[in-house]
Structure 1
Amino acid sequence: MKIVIVGSTHAGTAAAKQILKRHPETDVTVYERNDNISFVSSGIYLYLTGKIDRLEDMFYASPEDLVKMGATVRLKHNVLRIDTKTKTLQVADMQTGKVFNDTYDKLIMATGSSVAVPPIIGIDQTNVLLCKNYKQAQAIYASAKEHHHIAVIGAGYMGTELAESYAETNHEVSLFQSHDQILNNYIGPELSNKATQLLKDHGVHLHMEERVTSFDTADDGQVIIESSGGNYRADLAIVCTGFVPNTDLLRKQVKMDRHGALIINDYVQTSDPDIYAAGDACVVNFNPTGTPAYTPLATNALRQGALAGINVFGDIQPYMGTQATSAMKLFDYTLATTGLTYVAAKRDKMPIRHVVFDGPYRPTYMPNPTELLIDLVYNYENRQLLGAQFWSKHDVSQSANTMSVMIQNGNTIDDLAYVDMLFQPNFDEPFNYLNQVGQQAVEQELQLGNDQPRVTATGNWQN
């Protein structure tokens, strides 16, 4: 069987490895527009702060690795056209200009995403940069060394991390966000307010609810940033306004969502049975709502890519879906999130409530009983867990993983309240903080008169 993989960052690399590990005799061809594979873009800010010495360390696989396994890897090759009816591809060698055709039996689309370039006048100015891939990261690093005042447009993960990086390296930083809170797709207002104050405490100028409308270059070389709140100057502007899926090659040939992301089934298969999709090019099956969602995260891409490499040989291993679990280090705080925020669940008109736990992660008689904030979201009708966000100087990232598993398994606030967790004063209270926030939710339902018999995840009835 001949399998063609288009794109090889996270998903494409994972797919190729699974195919050749399980079926080394398979004819696998990988097409990649860049001259590298497997770049971890989430590590860009670590490079900018000097926490890692070499940007090249952000590659976790090389083309040679795939070649050794038996793949044909064609770097700097751009797929121009795909015809799903004839199973053919038109490909351009970007170095020679030669255009040729190829065929496939099965196709894996791992074309990823691009920075969502907003319709801003002057966005092509030389002192306005985008941030996602290896070459863009190199350009940002080189430019930032020569400039002091950096403007970051967009306060999602990438923009917030960049703002922190530049603040830590003695740059003056202005962060522009069109929304009324930062990280609005990941956390609720309570945690966002804490993150916002932390950025301000480190000297970052925040411009909330200000939409950037144009860029211009002043006579002295500075970039002029025009926004809905006024005009500003900086030495360099970096645009981090989200991502859009790269799926034009299959437009009108397979089903897509409103973002243009490829719709997949439980085996990461598109509406064309011979085409699989993984990573930022496709949706995820989002467990808290039971509906598809566009959530471009490297973790999703790796899992979907591996599953595409398995299921291209048949419906072997179903995709478990995702809770979009993620985390970031912001100065000396850990921010972690999984599932739905309260605001997102309300927007979807779900029957939800939330509780906020605010207390020490371990007994106060221990040294440094660091405070911890947890925002827990649940469905009050069936009591199922829907989401949680964490904020603390203590590393709470693995607690987000625990909550992710519980949401995926359909656990309830009652399960969370009394699930078995270790106690040792070095690590937690006699009831772990996850137990405590679950008990808070149970108590809230008791106060509201919602103490009805219910089925738990184990299938036992309780009163």
Structure 2
Amino acid sequence: MKKVIIVGGVGGGATAAGQLRFYDKEMDITVYDRDSTMSYAACGTPYVIGEVIEDETSILMADPEQFRQKKNIDVRLEHEVVEILRSEKKVRVRNLKTGGEFNDSYDALILSPGGSAIMPEIEGTEKGNVFTLRSYGDMQAIHDYIQNQKPAHATISGAGFIGLEMAENLKHLGLEVDIVHKSSAILSILDEDLSQLLHAELEKNGVRIHTETVIEKIDERNVRLSTGTSLDTDFVIMSIGLKPNTVLAENAGLSIGETGGIRTNEFMQTNDESIYAIGDASENFDFITGDPKRVPLAVPAHRQAFLAAQHITGNPIPKKGLLGTSILKVFELDAAMTGLTETAIKEKGLTAKTVIHSGNSNAGYYPDHEKLTLKVHYNPETRQILGAQCVGGKGVDKRIDVIATAIYGGLAVDDLQALELCYAPPFSSPKDPVNMAGYKAIG
């Protein structure tokens, strides 16, 4: 009987365990996680804090007892794997409740350790009410603080996914919000012209944004910015980035890639063929360029879990690369993206042209329609689609989903005009924005 140990029991780890059991009813599967909860929907945490999701337990997808009873999987929470003994094919495990340690052996080991929120070295972080949002416990701490202390103002450092989602949810609770962001434009995975649409939407809803700015000092109820401005604030949320948890892998001599993640091949194997790495801490490769890429999002983690499980159970399916398809909501606007941005295209020295279509999500004469802007980058010689982005009031997700599928299927930009997409006035128009991008590329 094959024995598999999984390190980490949130998205990727829990999915890998479930997939292994689905494909092998006899396998011995053990999951170790150092936290007190497992398999929770991390993407839902800002909406629990904002009380859009009223029951915080609704984002808990499973617990150890369910895994044990329904799937015969042994999940041990508050247990940390502290060392990998590769030559012996064992791990050293510490019980965080008792402090005791023991060894456990494996035939295959899956690392899904996730990442940790980056906490910059800023004077006064130990004095103020400074939070990060990376775990279920982090979510509870922020939620409890808001409920008990009734703060009036929050400062958010960082304008990525978490920062923008938290800004919306804190405004939903009636707080005043300032965002401090180091770069010149928010949400750097968007092209700057589209990020400006989100910037305007935030300001329209009362969120103050300080770009090209960092926090230099935090006092108990005040933050000082690099511009010299001081903000009176009740608490700070640090959301400046994610550091992959790779110490365990590094100490075991596993290869770390240039993105900082654990380097893997197309089957999610590390440089030790018995050890796999998935999720936020793993490095794969870009679908379009083949360059190293790390995408700390839920969909890639679940896909990687499936691929690792398939390989371990004897049905290898190679991964074709990462597009980084993603979406977020900012008040009344949605923003979605897939593939390469303008910045990435320039950095890699690729030949590219861009088509932009601004129009309606569906028929303009139909009462429920919204404006949207769709950008598609492509190689003018090979006609390969390099990336796409869309911002608008509705219908953003389906346009980017279609283009992500087109990229994965190897369609040329010219093929977009030929796609026969759903049409009725409440949903689209006879020439969908995706079709229009294809027509404009040909023209």
TM-score normalised to structure 2 length: 0.95
Q: CA deviation at 1:243?
A: 0.6
Match of 1:447 in 2: none
CA RMSD of superposed structures (Å)? 1.6
Q: Unpaired runs of 5+ in structure 2?
A: none
Query: Does the alignment pair 1:301 with 2:305?
Result: no
Decide whether the 8 Å contact of 1:7 with 1:110 is kept in 2. Answer: yes
Aligned amino acid, residue 328 of structure 1: L
Match of 2:325 in 1: 325
Query: What SS class does the counterpart of residue 88 from structure 2 fall into?
Result: coil
Query: Does the alignment pair 1:438 with 2:441?
Result: no
Query: Does the alignment pair 1:158 with 2:162?
Result: yes
| TM-aligned CA distance change 1:126 to 1:67, over 3 Å | farther
Match of 2:187 in 1: 183
| TM-aligned CA distance change 1:440 to 1:132, over 3 Å | same
Decide whether the 8 Å contact of 2:416 with 2:438 is kept in 1. Answer: yes
**Aligned partners of 1:408 and 1:177: how far apart in 2?**
33
Decide whether the 8 Å contact of 1:15 with 1:305 is kept in 2. Answer: yes
Match of 1:18 in 2: 19
Query: What SS class does the counterpart of residue 343 from structure 2 fall into?
Result: helix
Match of 2:131 in 1: 129
| TM-aligned CA distance change 1:413 to 1:309, over 3 Å | same
**Aligned partners of 1:402 and 1:442: how far apart in 2?**
18
Match of 1:209 in 2: 212
**Aligned partners of 1:93 and 1:18: how far apart in 2?**
26
**Aligned partners of 2:297 and 2:127: how far apart in 1?**
29
Match of 1:289 in 2: 289
Match of 2:97 in 1: 95
Match of 1:461 in 2: none
**Aligned partners of 1:296 and 1:257: how far apart in 2?**
15
Aligned amino acid, residue 91 of structure 2: L
**Aligned partners of 2:33 and 2:127: how far apart in 1?**
27
TM-score normalised to structure 1 length: 0.91
Matches within 5 A, 1:25-36: 25-36=26-37
Once the two structures are overlaid, the 10-residue window that deviates more, 377-386 or 250-259, is 250-259
Aligned amino acid, residue 243 of structure 1: L
Decide whether the 8 Å contact of 1:374 with 1:390 is kept in 2. Answer: yes
Match of 2:340 in 1: 340
**Aligned partners of 1:229 and 1:208: how far apart in 2?**
13
Query: What SS class does the counterpart of residue 120 from structure 1 fall into?
Result: coil
Q: CA deviation at 1:223?
A: 3.6
Match of 2:226 in 1: 227
Match of 2:86 in 1: 84
| TM-aligned CA distance change 1:369 to 1:100, over 3 Å | closer
Q: CA deviation at 1:435?
A: 0.5
**Aligned partners of 1:242 and 1:171: how far apart in 2?**
23
Q: CA deviation at 1:426?
A: 2.7
| TM-aligned CA distance change 1:70 to 1:208, over 3 Å | same
| TM-aligned CA distance change 1:401 to 1:72, over 3 Å | same
| TM-aligned CA distance change 1:12 to 1:170, over 3 Å | same
Q: CA deviation at 1:268?
A: 0.9
Aligned amino acid, residue 249 of structure 1: L
| TM-aligned CA distance change 1:161 to 1:53, over 3 Å | same
Aligned amino acid, residue 184 of structure 2: D
Match of 1:119 in 2: 121
Decide whether the 8 Å contact of 1:223 with 1:237 is kept in 2. Answer: no
**Aligned partners of 1:183 and 1:428: how far apart in 2?**
28
Q: CA deviation at 1:269?
A: 0.9
Once the two structures are overlaid, the 10-residue window that deviates more, 45-54 or 237-246, is 45-54
Q: CA deviation at 1:158?
A: 0.2
Question: Percent identity among equivalent residues?
Answer: 32
Q: CA deviation at 1:82?
A: 1.1
Decide whether the 8 Å contact of 2:293 with 2:322 is kept in 1. Answer: no
Query: Does the alignment pair 1:169 with 2:173?
Result: yes
Decide whether the 8 Å contact of 2:369 with 2:426 is kept in 1. Answer: no
Q: CA deviation at 1:80?
A: 1.2
**Aligned partners of 1:377 and 1:316: how far apart in 2?**
33
Q: CA deviation at 1:273?
A: 0.4
Decide whether the 8 Å contact of 2:17 with 2:29 is kept in 1. Answer: yes
Match of 2:108 in 1: 106
**Aligned partners of 1:152 and 1:374: how far apart in 2?**
29
Q: CA deviation at 1:315?
A: 5.2
Query: Does the alignment pair 1:366 with 2:366?
Result: yes
**Aligned partners of 1:422 and 1:159: how far apart in 2?**
35
Match of 2:243 in 1: 244
Q: CA deviation at 1:229?
A: 4.6
Query: What SS class does the counterpart of residue 251 from structure 1 fall into?
Result: helix
**Aligned partners of 1:311 and 1:134: how far apart in 2?**
31
Once the two structures are overlaid, the 10-residue window that deviates more, 326-335 or 116-125, is 116-125
Residue of 147, 153, 156 corresponding to 1:149:
153
- The Cα offsets for residues 16-38 of structure 1, whole Å up to 9 and x where unpaired, read as 00111111211111100011111
Q: CA deviation at 1:226?
A: 3.7
Decide whether the 8 Å contact of 2:32 with 2:77 is kept in 1. Answer: yes
Aligned length: 438
Q: Unpaired runs of 5+ in structure 1?
A: 444-463
Decide whether the 8 Å contact of 2:64 with 2:74 is kept in 1. Answer: no
Match of 2:201 in 1: 198
Query: What SS class does the counterpart of residue 263 from structure 2 fall into?
Result: coil
**Aligned partners of 2:368 and 2:55: how far apart in 1?**
34
**Aligned partners of 2:222 and 2:95: how far apart in 1?**
36
**Aligned partners of 2:229 and 2:420: how far apart in 1?**
54
Query: What SS class does the counterpart of residue 307 from structure 1 fall into?
Result: helix
